[in-house]
């Protein structure tokens, strides 16, 4: 059996070399179909991995209580629900009353358009300023590379101190100054830098490395705005207690907001990975569209391959007659032409995969993904090529097998 398969492959390669131009064109059509499929799906898988890893770093095993529904707008989706703002008093009462083995923090966005200055250097007016308490670094999954966290006294007094993101070091301290204890300006106020955050990188164009964190009370004093809403973040000390902590926190905050029994919550509780899951779910539509595009391309390649195989059968009619005269059975002839179609498809598949993986990773690099080799799509691509070869080659192979040996020998 192995000898027969090897012989069929050898004959297939000989036939491919003798009709090189049209075979190469067919291989390229198949390769482009597989390249598009593997390339796009590689980029998508890389992006999914990047999204999950980035959101995990943003605070694993954490959930937040906020006044708006977490939702990604796609097409004609309905708008995300908005509830009454969570007031500072409600957030503080929850933090004081929530008796559970967990870290609880309160934060709010002061502005997304701040300009930071140090001496003659300044940033673009696109810096996010976050007001936070002493537990914010823990619940947000942030780490410090230099300096220290806020003290409880600094949070309570609203001290003019700041923890800055790593990107701001490049923008402000261009002469290699040590940022610790340096005085910077945030808007009209002067702040002392006490810490530098560890870089988290960006995903889908968004980065937290440009943010600046100041004490919560300081934001209330100098960045106050009407109807400001606060976010409560909770991280259980034992990750296994996450679901239990969510239930306890939901009940406790219902009490804080005085929601009658039987009424729906007027706030949103979201786990740290909810947004990642929603992004991945929406990306699945892109995956489906890419798969359909790739399959349509392969359908065109299959039709082209079938046409080439039919032409090959006609051109090799005399050869078929000689083989049958020498004792080749219908099954042997059929397997020979079937093998030829499969070999052509596999060559196209290998070429498409070799092109698709680097192209997909180049795309993922520009959109903030990471390098991966999608073994699932590689194997799926090869299986798909095998199926295309089988479907495209079955009819020409059967036609070749049914040829009359006497008529074939007389064919010119």
Q: Domain segments of the chain: what residues? A: 2-54+279-409, 63-271
**What are the tens digits of pLDDT across the range 123-138?**
988 899 999 999 999 8
Give the C-alpha separation, 189 to 161, whole Å.
10
- Strands 121-122, 161-164: pairing is unpaired
Give CA–CA dist 91/36, Å, rounded.
50
pLDDT tens digit string along 32-54?
878 877 887 787 777 777 666 66
pLDDT at 406: 67
320/401 Cα distance (integer angstroms): 8
pTM, two decimals, is 0.60
The pLDDT of residue 204 = 47
Q: What's the pLDDT tens digit per position in 207-261?
A: 678 899 999 999 999 888 888 899 999 999 888 888 899 999 999 999 999 999 8
Using only C-alpha atoms, the chain has a radius of gyration, in whole angstroms, of: 32
Q: Report the range of poorest mean pLDDT among 172-176, 322-326, 344-348, 398-402.
A: 322-326
Q: Kindly report which listed range (157-166, 228-237, 319-328) carries the lowest average pLDDT score.
A: 319-328
What residues contact 256, with CB distance under 8 A and at least 6 apart?
90, 93, 94, 97
Which of 9-18, 111-120, 157-166, 261-270 is least confident?
9-18
Least confident of 6-15, 58-67, 156-165, 372-381: 6-15
Tokens of 149: 């966290």
Report the alpha-carbon distance of residue 136 to residue 133 in Å, rounded.
Answer: 6
């Amino acid at each position: 059996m192995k000898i027969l398969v090897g012989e069929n492959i050898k004959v297939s390669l000989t036939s491919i070399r003798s009709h090189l131009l049209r075979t190469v064109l067919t291989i390229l059509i198949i390769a482009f179909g597989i390249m598009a499929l593997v390339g796009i799906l590689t980029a998508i898988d890389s992006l999914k991995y990047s999204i999950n890893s980035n959101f995990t770093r943003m605070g694993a095993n954490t959930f937040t209580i906020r006044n708006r529904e977490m939702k990604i707008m796609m097409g004609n989706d309905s708008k995300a629900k908005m509830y009454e703002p969570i007031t500072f008093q409600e957030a503080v009462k929850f933090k004081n009353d929530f008796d559970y083995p967990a870290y609880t923090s309160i934060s709010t966005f002061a502005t997304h358009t701040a300009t930071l200055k140090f001496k003659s250097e300044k940033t673009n007016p696109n810096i996010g300023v976050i007001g936070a308490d002493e537990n914010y670094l823990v619940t947000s999954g942030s780490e410090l590379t230099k300096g220290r966290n806020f003290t409880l006294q600094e949070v309570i007094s609203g001290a003019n101190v700041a923890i800055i993101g790593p990107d701001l070091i490049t923008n402000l301290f261009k002469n290699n100054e040590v940022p610790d204890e340096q005085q910077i300006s945030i808007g009209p106020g002067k702040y002392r830098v006490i810490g530098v955050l560890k870089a988290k990188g960006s995903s889908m164009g968004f980065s937290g490395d440009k943010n600046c964190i100041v004490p919560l009370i300081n934001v209330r004093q100098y960045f106050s705005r009407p109807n400001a809403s606060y976010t409560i973040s909770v991280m259980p000390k034992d990750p296994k207690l996450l679901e239990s902590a969510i239930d306890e926190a939901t009940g406790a905050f219902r009490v804080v907001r005085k929601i009658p029994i039987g009424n729906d919550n007027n706030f949103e509780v979201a786990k740290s990975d909810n947004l990642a899951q929603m992004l991945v779910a929406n990306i699945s539509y892109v995956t489906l569209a890419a798969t359909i595009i790739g399959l349509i391309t392969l359908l065109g390649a299959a039709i082209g391959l079938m046409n080439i195989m039919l032409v090959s059968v006609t051109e090799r009619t005399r050869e078929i007659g000689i083989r049958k005269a020498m004792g080749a059975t219908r099954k042997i002839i059929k397997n020979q032409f079937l093998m030829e179609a499969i070999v052509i498809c596999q060559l196209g598949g290998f070429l498409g995969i070799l092109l698709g993986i680097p192209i997909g990773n180049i795309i993922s690099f520009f959109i903030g993904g990471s390098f991966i080799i999608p073994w699932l799509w590689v194997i799926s691509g090869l299986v798909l090529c095998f199926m295309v070869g089988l479907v495209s080659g079955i009819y020409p192979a059967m036609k070749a097998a049914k040829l009359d040996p006497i008529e074939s020998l007389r064919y010119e």
